[in-house]
Structure 1
């Protein structure tokens, strides 16, 4: 008997039993599987039990109760814990959760994508989907993670290792030297921070906790010895998002020191949006990496400067003087390597048939078909996310599933008639979808937090899901909640603004934005028709039709001062195509773009080559040059300043002069 079929038969038998079934009786019912030497049979049953528990099937051994006349123990499935209870969503909660989960799945690299998809299907089969509002809500959410599509396979594998606490062996490439090392890592957690997926774990090579960039993991292998047994424990209070999301000035490089920043008039909001401080004329930060702080400060030009201590002021002044002086003379002529480096692609290996995934979906087919009498194979396949041939094969297998002794009335009676309709006459206790597993609940919660910041409907929906989990699953859910952080944090102080704009996108209401276009404290009112709140590679934007410009525009979330509804409705503009945003930078050609050549020093060469890909060339003797399309000067100026002397504009001359002038303006704060 195929293992998948055996597990389904075991579930059917235990679900239909009124009393716990002793092991001896299971051996009689499954002689080909649990017969033979007792110890080997017990180990096999324990492996089956462990797999079913991972799928959310609450199989358990019940010890004997002599007072009930039961002198031996047995196995059972608690029906009250097996079937998915109704979470009791309000319509807006169901719509918000479905929209959030759909947006996360559309991103293409959600770490628990399979679990999230199964969670949605279970809720749908249980009748918890709200058709009204779900599609509209989905239009207000977009998550785009541009880059190597092959990373989804690595994410899935690492998410599995994180959940099971299994050690991984990595081949990891250093960014600066490109040296590849092999190391064993205890994967504590995963987080999307600073525009990239990060693995946080204990590195046995470095004997310390480390953060690894997923894109620089060239190969990984999970330790599958004793697969049901954890390989390590998690440090108390561990939070993957907190560790991976440390601001650059908080990276552990030196002993802590206090640094005071001051903000130019009109730029006080930068204290909150860029430095996580109160919006004021000055902010005091604790700093353990001065290079990280200076990069952030210098990139903001004359809007912020270091006030104390003197050593930090001097470093900022020296860097600005070097930038000014270099851009005050003609650039050196440097020879480029003859051809760009070959593009590195990781690819995704063809996915092997996953028997566990098949078993998980098989548990849903009968209740899904039973809920909608007369549903066609094509309709049911769409609802379950399957191909029609795949579904037909699953239905054929289900027709072989039943309870020992396997008389005709003991089998699941499911079939497809000549008109392609699926009918269920005997469900053998598979009448309702099974309970959410801890990972499925976690996937829903993580997706909701990723795509719907500050949405009360999402918050209450997640709380209801967690409250309905069985105790064992709830415990695992709680331990994993701080170990996976898929949500890119919104800029501090924008949570309610983005929630307001997203609701307006759903209900098609115009919004009046107070917007600081250049980030210099000079705001103007923009009337917009919001299409979506967009997380693009970890940065938050609002994509909308600008009424005044009569054109589509993208607004940076960190430059929105306020947002209010005008009371004006607008017609439905249809769904957005996420492919519009599948690009490395959120840049839409306007016709005013031109190429700017930026040169990077050997110290940051690896960053430039990785960031700009085919548009970057190595320089003979070290360094790199990149051609960057830009319609204005502000982005290029901020980029070059942020490298504190490790980058310069080569051409055109007017942009080179703009960098010089920006450095001179910022220097005035340090020369007064």
Structure 2
């Protein structure tokens, strides 16, 4: 039974320990083991040769000798050891996973298993965050998520720090947003008569009402996700992008799926469907790849125009 070939990123991550355990192995044998041809393996080794530790001076880069037809590893740059998260790095991951749980648009069991593994791996370093950040499956948060998903109005008790008071409100949910590592309910507040953001950890209680969420049409239409935020309710919007072969690693780090089955390294660009939280994020994302990731013509024309304008302005400064 055949299995799908690993992506290039997965292959590169596995290569250093593979060759370290097989000093002097011939390229032809290694290519067969790794499921690629010798030409592709040589390209992979050339890529590894310019990877390494921050500083990226010659002594910081992975040292692999393969010009003689056999492969020898001189310096691993730490690639022979399992990745170990610092407490700060683990905390960031835990917070991000909890925000995904707040969205209610992911496999909650899978997210909880991932959180448990991270917490077990780093031990007590997560205690401060665990103590100050409410659990994402707490009843109040669940009530908010369920009301957004079902389109129901909510009765909430909310703490307003600027006035140091707790008020009872009835709100009509619009969406859930993630802003600066916090989850917010965006809703029409019937008490205030306007759209407000309610931070999850300041909602003392939330009870769905037996009536639909009905924000004024103009409020829901005018309410756009804030710059730097992600809309977490329901399915994220999608866009089709072209990805050059050297940037295919992004498929493993972002919510993107190739439209064709990848079997080894493609000869040219591939098209993938990318999920994104806001147009501002999408614009920054595309700019960061310097042209190796592009919108398919006809997709998100406003973002394409913004990226083109920014690139043109950058080129003009060099003149």
Same fold (TM over 0.5): no
TM-score, reference length from structure 1: 0.21
TM-score, reference length from structure 2: 0.40
For the pair shown, the structure with the greater C-alpha radius of gyration is 1
Between the two structures, name the one with larger relative contact order (CA 8 Å, sep ≥ 6). 1
